Amino acid sequence: MRVHIYPRWKFNMFMRMIFLTLSILSLSACDNRMAVRLNSSTDTIVPPATSEVIISEDVEGLRPVIIEAEEPLQAEENSQAAIPEAEAEAEPAPSRAEIASRLSAPIYFALDSFALSDAQTSQLAELAKFLTEQENREVNIRIEGHCDDRGTREYNFALGSARANTIAAVLLKGGISKARISTISYGKERPKYPGNSTPARAKNRRGDIILRPIIIDTPEN
């Protein structure tokens, strides 16, 4: 048998090639064992029905972050609508003194007139009804007739008397006895608003209603 003897340098090169080949095969096997198989999927992530999903950017980690938002506004409004509203507090009834003050407000007249408007007639009828109540039957009524600065003294005294008597007639018709009513005319002698301007004259053409004794509220014990 003939034996071939290779030079030493060829033998070393041959051994290196074998070692390199084994190393490559070993690394390939490791890669195959460590590899992760990625399967494509068509599944969709569905967020909870009660919230929205908002994707925002995490600046520090540069990665998407899923944040669950609050309930939709419409759902919040519906929940609030289900809560019954508190009943509004009823306004307190006007006191006896307040009613007397409102119903005895001055009656204003047009120039050279002693006629009443429908609203003024209603006010006086309501005053008569108020004064016929049991607790008000001791109250008497004084009616003063006034005029503005135009016209003679005699004319204005007569006009002021007609205005006072017109007011008294409505109260008498409403059930107030004649003994409780007194009338007087001051004509243009006692203007409440000085000057001869149109607003001042309009307020001086009036009938003042004065209640005696004055109705005041009695404090509750």
Residue 129, classed as helix, strand or coil, is: helix
Is 44 part of any domain?
no
User: What local confidence, expressed as pLDDT, does residue 80 receive?
Assistant: 56
Where residue 15 falls among pLDDT bands split at 50, 70, 90? confident
Average pLDDT of span 85-103: 86
C-alpha to C-alpha distance for 156 and 114, rounded to whole angstroms: 11
Pairing of strands 53-58, 107-108: unpaired
User: What local confidence, expressed as pLDDT, does residue 220 receive?
Assistant: 58
Helix (H) or strand (E) holding 78: helix 73-81
C-alpha to C-alpha distance for 156 and 158, rounded to whole angstroms: 5
The string of pLDDT tens digits covering residues 54-85 is: 434 444 444 444 444 455 555 555 555 555 56
User: What local confidence, expressed as pLDDT, does residue 35 receive?
Assistant: 44
Is 77 part of any domain?
no
Is 132 part of any domain?
yes
Is 25 part of any domain?
no
Which CATH number does the domain housing residue 110 bear?
3.30.1330.60
Where residue 189 falls among pLDDT bands split at 50, 70, 90? very high
Distances (CA, A) of 9 to 2, 5, 103, 124, 139: 21, 12, 135, 140, 145
Is 49 part of any domain?
no
Where residue 106 falls among pLDDT bands split at 50, 70, 90? very high
Average pLDDT of span 140-157: 97
User: What local confidence, expressed as pLDDT, does residue 67 receive?
Assistant: 45
| Overall number of domains in the chain | 1
Average pLDDT of span 98-110: 97
The string of pLDDT tens digits covering residues 192-214 is: 999 999 999 999 999 999 999 99
Give the residue, 212 or 15, on which the prediction is more confident: 212
C-alpha to C-alpha distance for 147 and 203, rounded to whole angstroms: 9
Is 18 part of any domain?
no
Is 136 part of any domain?
yes
Give the residue, 41 or 180, on which the prediction is more confident: 180
Domain that holds residue 169: 96-212
Residue 210, classed as helix, strand or coil, is: strand
173-202 residues labelled b (16+ CB within 10 A) or e (exposed): ebebeeebbebebbbbeebeeeeeeeeebe
Is 119 part of any domain?
yes
On whether the CB atoms of residues 165 and 155 are closer than 8 A, the answer is: no
